[in-house]
């Protein structure tokens, strides 16, 4: 294949990776930024979204587009609900101690994975795509749905940004992020904010999963890769900085697409992990993070 089309394909693949990654990582970043919780179970929430999307596609009759739309609404709500419950029942009782929450979310990860294994089974199961058109370029064909995923992810991210910047809920979240105690003194119910933020973070992972599952199939172990890549993105972008997360997701996604197409996907992962190490050494707060006092 010639260089031009080769690059085009690499960029398109990278863009899809970047879009889904931006969604997943923004959930992780939100939770860390506001709650200071390193959520190791984030990949499990992602997997849960995909698995639930499969159940919805089985149970909702009618065309795939309808069941997909239902899944896009229901799955994030259910996953968010489970996350809020986990926050109230577990994380809150640990007083959000950093070490304790890491261990607790590792436990949560195992519980969710084994639950999926028990109720969903060990097989990879396909979910039909809501739209089934292919784009036939002169050099190669490409899935139209993949491009729709990019648009969908961009819309959701825009919505998240609007919520954070222009709604009362967003204001309360930002206030809690800046100073938990002062926020409480001003009458903000910090417990409810935390539960809501944890739910929102998990919900974002679930949306990303619902978008990706027609491409990838639902499987109980699918949360590993998104978790690793999300951490990479969040660390490079700066923990807690949504803007940094977006920029880093684009950077990692596109470079992953280009490097893995031209060379090897394993090399792309090696380089991404190396960049994380370099960022941690030379700029520990990340590209856009604020240096902590």
- Other CB atoms within 10 A of residue 224 CB: 14
Nearer to another protein, 142 or 161 (CB): 142
Q: Which helix (H) or strand (E) holds 109?
A: helix 98-120
Considering the complex, what minimum distance in angstroms separates the CB of residue 134 from another protein?
A: 5
- Angstrom distance (rounded) from CA 42 to CA 236: 18
Residues that bind another protein (CB under 8 A): 1, 5-6, 9-10, 13, 17, 117, 121-124, 126, 128, 132, 134, 136, 140-143, 215-217, 219, 221-222, 225, 257, 260-261, 265-266
Nearer to another protein, 95 or 136 (CB): 136
3-state secondary structure of 214: helix
- Angstrom distance (rounded) from CA 51 to CA 126: 10
Six-digit token pair at 146? 């993949």
Considering the complex, what minimum distance in angstroms separates the CB of residue 35 from another protein?
A: 30
Nearer to another protein, 11 or 275 (CB): 11
Query: Measured on CA atoms in the order 205, 292, 196, 90, is the torsion positive or negative?
Result: positive
- Angstrom distance (rounded) from CA 120 to CA 116: 5
Considering the complex, what minimum distance in angstroms separates the CB of residue 58 from another protein?
A: 10
Nearer to another protein, 81 or 265 (CB): 265
- Other CB atoms within 10 A of residue 291 CB: 9
Considering the complex, what minimum distance in angstroms separates the CB of residue 209 from another protein?
A: 12
Considering the complex, what minimum distance in angstroms separates the CB of residue 103 from another protein?
A: 23
Nearer to another protein, 141 or 187 (CB): 141
Nearer to another protein, 90 or 115 (CB): 115
Nearer to another protein, 98 or 128 (CB): 128
HSE at residue 57, side-chain half, CA atoms within 13 A, is 22
Q: Which helix (H) or strand (E) holds 29?
A: helix 3-35
Considering the complex, what minimum distance in angstroms separates the CB of residue 128 from another protein?
A: 7
- Angstrom distance (rounded) from CA 47 to CA 164: 25
Nearer to another protein, 29 or 261 (CB): 261
Considering the complex, what minimum distance in angstroms separates the CB of residue 7 from another protein?
A: 10
- Angstrom distance (rounded) from CA 193 to CA 239: 19
Question: Do 176 and 190 contact (CB within 8 A), yes or no?
Answer: yes
Query: Measured on CA atoms in the order 176, 182, 185, 186, is the torsion positive or negative?
Result: negative
| Torsion angles phi and psi, residue 289, rounded to 5 | -80, 155
Considering the complex, what minimum distance in angstroms separates the CB of residue 287 from another protein?
A: 26
């Amino acid at each position: 294949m010639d260089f031009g089309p080769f690059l085009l394909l690499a960029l398109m693949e990278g863009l899809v990776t970047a879009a889904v990654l931006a969604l997943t990582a923004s959930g992780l970043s939100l939770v860390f930024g506001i709650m200071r919780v390193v959520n190791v179970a984030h990949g499990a929430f992602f997997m849960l979204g995909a698995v639930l999307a499969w159940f919805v596609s089985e149970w909702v009759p009618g065309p795939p587009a309808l069941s997909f739309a239902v899944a896009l609404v229901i799955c994030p709500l259910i996953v968010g609900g489970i996350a809020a419950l986990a926050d109230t029942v577990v994380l809150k009782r640990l007083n959000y101690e950093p070490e304790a929450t890491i261990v607790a979310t590792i436990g949560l990860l195992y519980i969710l994975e084994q639950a999926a294994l028990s109720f969903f089974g060990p097989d990879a199961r396909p979910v039909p795509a809501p739209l089934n058109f292919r784009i036939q370029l002169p050099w190669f064909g490409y899935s139209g749905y993949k491009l729709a995923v990019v648009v969908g992810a961009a819309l959701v991210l825009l919505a998240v940004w609007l919520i954070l910047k222009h709604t009362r809920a967003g204001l309360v979240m930002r206030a809690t992020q800046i100073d938990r105690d002062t926020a409480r003194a001003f009458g903000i119910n910090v417990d409810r904010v935390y539960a809501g933020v944890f739910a929102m973070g998990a919900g974002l992972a679930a949306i990303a999963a619902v978008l990706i599952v027609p491409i990838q199939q639902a499987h109980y172990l699918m949360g590993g890769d998104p978790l690793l890549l999300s951490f990479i993105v969040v660390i490079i972008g700066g923990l807690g900085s949504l803007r940094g997360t977006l920029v880093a997701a684009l950077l990692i996604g596109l470079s992953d697409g280009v490097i893995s197409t031209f060379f090897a996907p394993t090399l792309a992962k090696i380089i991404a992990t190396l960049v994380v190490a370099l960022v941690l050494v030379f700029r520990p707060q990340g590209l856009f993070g604020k240096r902590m006092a």
